[in-house]
Amino acid sequence: MMAYCGIDCLECPTYQATQKDDDQKRAKVAERWSKIFNFTLKPSDINCDGCKEEGKRLFFFCRNCEVRECGSAKGLENCAHCEDYACDKLEPLFKMIPFIKEKLEEMRKAL
């Protein structure tokens, strides 16, 4: 399960905590990510069924994600499949989560 931006949902701590309905893990993720992203998150913010799941729970930051909105509107599998790769929408994510750039570029080479 791959998000448009290249994050593997199955490896995402928010997705994992949601799917296991694990409140202790939600609390740990909220505490850790609050420090990393310098933004206060509560355990109740740690809920996600994946950004491609319409009408389901979506992580706080992903609700208004330009990359998610764009990928969905274009009907893409993920951004590696986009003719406009790597657009300006991805740059902030690449700075915040550098490994997704590598992952998307690996996928583009395989296309």
- What does the pLDDT look like over 73-97, one tens digit per residue? 999 999 999 999 989 999 999 998 8
Q: Please report where in the chains the tokens 């933004």 appear, as a residue.
A: 39
Instruction: Using alpha carbons, select from 18, 8, 1 the residue that is nearest to residue 53.
Output: 1
- At residue 54, the pLDDT reads 74
Residue 8, strand partner residues: 2
**Interior CA angle at 58 toward 61 and 16, to 5°?**
100
Q: What pTM did the predictor assign?
A: 0.84
Residue 51: pLDDT band (50, 70, 90) is confident
Q: Say how far apart CA 29 and CA 41 lie, in whole Å.
A: 9
Quick count: other Cβ atoms within 10 Å of Cβ 54? 8
Q: 41 with 13: CB under 8 angstroms?
A: no
Q: Where are the alpha helices (DSSP H) in 1-111?
A: 13-20, 23-37, 66-74, 91-96, 99-110
Based on its alpha-carbon atoms, the radius of gyration of the chain, rounded to whole angstroms, reads: 14
